[in-house]
Amino acid sequence: MKIGIIGSGNMGGSLGKLWAKAGHQVIFSHSRDLQKLKHLATTAGTNARAGSPGEAIAQSDAVLLALNPAVIEEVLGTTALDQESQLAGKVVISCMSDLKPDFTGQTIGIATDLKISIAETVQQMAPAAHVFEAFNLTFAEIAASESRQFGLDKPSIFYCGDHPGSRATVETLIEDCGYQPIDAGGLIVSRSLETLASVWVQFAIASQKFGSSGSRVVIV
């Protein structure tokens, strides 16, 4: 499968590397440091390359959005693409959080009058896309580690979306990263998953079970 990564930071970069390792063709895009982006693609192996957000959308079957939600419109707008035609029928996985570096911020959605989730906002922006929420209940450090295996257990990843025909694709992409997929229902559930993700991160930091010491917390 061809996968476009829009937002190649810690999470996007780690998941992209796992997909490239699993044999998918990955395009990394959107980084503040172009050289870092190229280095990321090089370290991911021969199945990966760097590109623009427009290339990542147009040349992929599935797209991962791992951006700061505040720049979604800016980034998608600069692709100069017709979203209806470029994203129509494609799986778009939203893996975004509105938490700030000090772990404060909204627990749901983008700052609009409508209290909908970030993933639902993406679905509104690209109504013909098959938008799912996934990977927001794990840490980038877990995705970047040598293995997601904890003894005999794999960490679980909840996912949700409104397109039954694309569920198998999302589950495959989750499994290819070493996680166990759990279907949480329709896209409206993303409101709960995004809130849970914020609470989960804030708890991990506050309890000091996850931080600079390198210790890890993960839902199994």
Digitized pLDDT (tens) for each residue of the chain, 220 residues in all:
999 999 999 999 999 999 999 999 999 998 778 889 999 999 999 999 999 988 999 999 999 999 888 888 777 665 544 555 688 899 999 998 766 555 555 544 444 445 688 899 889 888 899 999 999 888 777 888 887 777 777 888 999 999 999 999 999 999 999 999 999 999 999 998 888 877 766 666 655 554 433 434 444 4
pTM: 0.84
- Domain boundaries along the sequence of the chain: 2-206
Pick the CATH number of 2-206 from 3.20.20.140, 3.30.70.2170, 1.10.10.10, 3.40.50.720: 3.40.50.720
Q: How far apart are CA 169 and CA 164, in angstroms?
A: 10
